[in-house]
Structure 1
Amino acid sequence: MSVRLLITDAMWDRIKPLMPLDPARGRRWADHRRTLEAIAWKYRTGSPWRDLPKELGPFQTAHKRLLRWAADGTWHRIFTAVLAEADAAGDVDWTVSVDSTVCRAHQHAAGARKGRRRPGRARRDHALGRSRGGLSTKVHLASDARARPLAVVVTAGQAGDAPAFTVVMNAIRVPRPGPGRPRTRPDTVSADRAYSARAIRSHLRERGIRAVIPQPVDQVRNRLRRGADGGRPPGFDPDTYKVRNSVERCISRFKQWRGLALRADKLALAFQAALHFAAVLIWLRG
């Protein structure tokens, strides 16, 4: 069987220094590159773990590595390091767009044990929600103007977009070379009408971030009905708003991976880790 590999030599040269070192005691890690290819193959094709080709090693190795590195923060650390490298090179466009997408959940995603949430453990609901369409997970994300993810957050599928906005914004943390705080403040944030809330506009104003968010028709009518008490309309730049499609294109890049478009993971921890891994490859591919 011939397996189409995803990680090029140039991409591996950038990932390799970020991978965990062999433990000081005990067995050495299996080949990291083969393990990453195995995880990428599973989520790119949407196949069960047990169908992993033999050329990519035992499926238990790849599955355990995915969960272990999710629990200890390795995936998030690699993602953050790639962002920091891109920002240091001036490759990040800080005209940011925010949106969300619903990922249907396979019936195999249900059934994980639900209990009290502990530090470092998966969230209690495992980011699964039930609505008219069945089980689903919602992925909230922020992308730069070149359709590359800056932050990814998962919630239950029925969760609203506006309540998750500040969570997504707080997840944007790009370290800078040398001492100093990470960059957390974009120049501009574009979002659709679902994010046209007073709390969101106030949050961006307090942080000195320019908001480009259109008002829904009902909000416009209510403001006009109140006359002078309705105040002036919020600023809106239609030319900058045209760049908002970057987040839609970013979502499309994620959903090219069938294992992300249709969630089969029981744990939110694993699904979030796969999203971070896909985000790393999106940045490395440019």
Structure 2
Amino acid sequence: MAGRGELTDVAWERIGPLLPGVDGRGRPWRSHRQVINGVLWRLRTGALRSDLPERYGPWQTAYERFARWEANGTRARLLEQVQVRDDSVGAVEWTVSVDSTINRAHEHAAGAPKKGAAAGDELEDPARMSAGQALGRSRGGLTTKIHLACDGRGLPLAVVVTPGNVNDSTVFDTVMDELRVPRTGARRSRRRPDAVIADKAYSSQAIRQGLRGRGIQAVIPERADQKANSLRLGARGGRPTAFDRALHKTRNVVERCFARLKQFRAIATRFDKLAARYHAGLHLASLILWLREPVTQPRRLSTAG
């Protein structure tokens, strides 16, 4: 029987066959399920890795195996295959909501050298060191921002991490580029949603034109200054921006997704020094959300406007 926060039997049956096999050589391997449950315990509690309970085995084993799965792409394939399965039965709702949230970074998250920095660079320029690990500094301290695209059920489709002081609109294209769900058979991966819902932080001509060029409906309200500027320009201001107010009301699914992800304390507060480790934890938390969601047929939402 699974303990609190651990993989259920149903969840394990879905992802167990996707994990690398145990070759049987040398010392006996720890069970993959035991290791994943250990990583989930740390993600859920936010405790030090060295405090991992004995029932999950040595903390070094959990850390090293999860790092290995990150390096060889196993971790990404787990989430991808679960998404493929839901999309194959039409459960994924392709009305996508985009937003971001800022999370405080614990003091233990600071101090990692910037990736690719020359020897001594991180000592001379702490700001560059922090930015290289997706840490931004403000009067509130070090922060990391999570940029998220989720489907109409509030399940993560794409996750990007940046320093906390990065503007949302500048990362929009990166988030959309990360949005990719492979399809069964010889069909190409789906990368284009039916509509993208976002708040006024993403209201820019470049974003609207980019979505329009891909045949995607933009459900983004205009800022007051943009409306005033269009009125001032008159005919030169172009046609009024189309906006589906009813569809925009469903944007709260992304807020609910953030709330569910932040039930994992190591997501709500960043303890990892390396941005790659924090990002890997986000992918694992996202995987758990997908595994918990019952597979149902998508709702029909209005895309008029």
The normalised TM-score by structure 2 is 0.88
> Which residue does the alignment assign to 1:75?
75
> Which residue does the alignment assign to 2:123?
none
> Which residue does the alignment assign to 1:216?
223
1:198-234 CA deviation, whole Å, 9 max, x = no partner?
1111110111001100001111111111111111121
| 8 Å Cα contact 2:147-2:161 kept in structure 1 | yes
> Which of 258, 265, 277 is the matching residue for 2:284?
277
> Which residue does the alignment assign to 1:20?
20
- The equivalences for 1:1-286 within 5 A come to 4-23=4-23, 27=27, 29-116=29-116, 125-286=132-293
Q: CA deviation at 1:128?
A: 1.2
Unaligned runs of 5+ in 2: 119-129, 294-305
Unaligned runs of 5+ in 1: none
| 8 Å Cα contact 2:135-2:142 kept in structure 1 | yes
Q: CA deviation at 1:24?
A: 7.7
Q: CA deviation at 1:105?
A: 0.4
Query: What residue identity is the alignment partner of 2:71?
Result: A
| 8 Å Cα contact 1:97-1:190 kept in structure 2 | yes
| 8 Å Cα contact 1:80-1:175 kept in structure 2 | yes
Partners of 2:24 and 2:162 in 1: how far apart?
37
Number of residues paired by the alignment?
Answer: 281
Q: CA deviation at 1:56?
A: 1.1
| 8 Å Cα contact 1:151-1:171 kept in structure 2 | yes
| 8 Å Cα contact 2:50-2:59 kept in structure 1 | yes
Partners of 1:271 and 1:7 in 2: how far apart?
20
Tell me: CA distance 1:242–1:117, structure 2 relative to 1, closer, same or farther (3 Å): farther
Partners of 1:160 and 1:186 in 2: how far apart?
23
Partners of 1:284 and 1:26 in 2: how far apart?
33
Query: Which segments of structure 1 move beyond 3 Å, counting only runs of 4 or more?
Result: 23-29
Sequence identity (%): 53
| 8 Å Cα contact 2:131-2:163 kept in structure 1 | no
Secondary structure, counterpart of 1:226 in structure 2: helix
Query: What residue identity is the alignment partner of 2:43?
Result: Y
Secondary structure, counterpart of 2:132 in structure 1: coil
Instruction: Indicate the RMSD between aligned Cα atoms, in angstroms.
Output: 1.8
Query: What residue identity is the alignment partner of 2:163?
Result: A
Q: CA deviation at 1:117?
A: 6.8
1:160-198 CA deviation, whole Å, 9 max, x = no partner?
100110111111110111012100000010000000011
Partners of 1:215 and 1:36 in 2: how far apart?
44
| 8 Å Cα contact 1:116-1:124 kept in structure 2 | no
Partners of 1:209 and 1:27 in 2: how far apart?
53
Q: CA deviation at 1:3?
A: 5.8
| 8 Å Cα contact 2:160-2:175 kept in structure 1 | yes
1:226-270 CA deviation, whole Å, 9 max, x = no partner?
111111121100110011111111111101111100000011111
Bigger relative CO (Cα 8 Å, ≥ 6 apart) = 1
19-28 or 268-277, larger mean C-alpha shift? 19-28
| 8 Å Cα contact 2:5-2:44 kept in structure 1 | no
Query: What residue identity is the alignment partner of 1:100?
Result: S
The normalised TM-score by structure 1 is 0.94
Tell me: CA distance 1:158–1:23, structure 2 relative to 1, closer, same or farther (3 Å): farther
Q: CA deviation at 1:113?
A: 1.7
